Amino acid sequence: SQTIHQWPATLVQPVGSPLSLECTVEGTSNPNLYWYRQAAGRGLQLLFYSVGIGQISSEVPQNLSASRPQDRQFILSSKKLLLSDSGFYLCAWRLGLAGGRETQYFGPGTRLLVL
């Protein structure tokens, strides 16, 4: 069966510091991978998605970036965090099939607090 991991679970960082959040998926190959941010009362905002190694699509221009160095690894980064980067970050995957029929499955999330 497939499993998705995220770490760290919680992170407190000062403004201006760098960020690296990691997401890995087990039990599948060539998944589509997604990063979302969830702010209170605002649902889920899609940040990035990836259909393959090195292929990243950005949905929202901001000071975050994403990379996919391996098939089942997706990393969210920032060079300098802003206060507004605080939130709950969720990674998700789905089978790498076209057509949108496949379901997204979510990781446990990382809570980021920027002070």
Coil/strand/helix, residue 83:
helix
Contact status: 25 vs another protein (CB under 8 A): no
Q: What is the C-alpha separation between 47 and 39, in angstroms, rounded?
A: 12
Contact status: 32 vs another protein (CB under 8 A): yes
Contact status: 54 vs another protein (CB under 8 A): no
Complex with another protein: residue 16 or 52, whichever CB lies closer: 52
Coil/strand/helix, residue 102:
coil
Complex with another protein: residue 15 or 60, whichever CB lies closer: 60
Sole binder of another protein in the list 24, 25, 47, 49 (CB under 8 A): 49
Judged by CB under 8 A, the stretch of 12-20, 23-31, 66-74, 93-101 that binds another protein is: 93-101
Judged by CB under 8 A, the stretch of 12-20, 21-29, 69-77, 106-114 that binds another protein is: 106-114
Q: Residues 57 to 76: which contact another protein by CB under 8 A?
A: 57, 59
Contact status: 105 vs another protein (CB under 8 A): yes
- Angle ∠(70,47,64) on CA atoms, nearest 5: 80
Q: What is the C-alpha separation between 25 and 94, in angstroms, rounded?
A: 10
Using CA atoms of 10, 59, 105, 32 in order, give the dihedral in degrees to the nearest 10: -120
Q: What is the C-alpha separation between 37 and 58, in angstroms, rounded?
A: 13
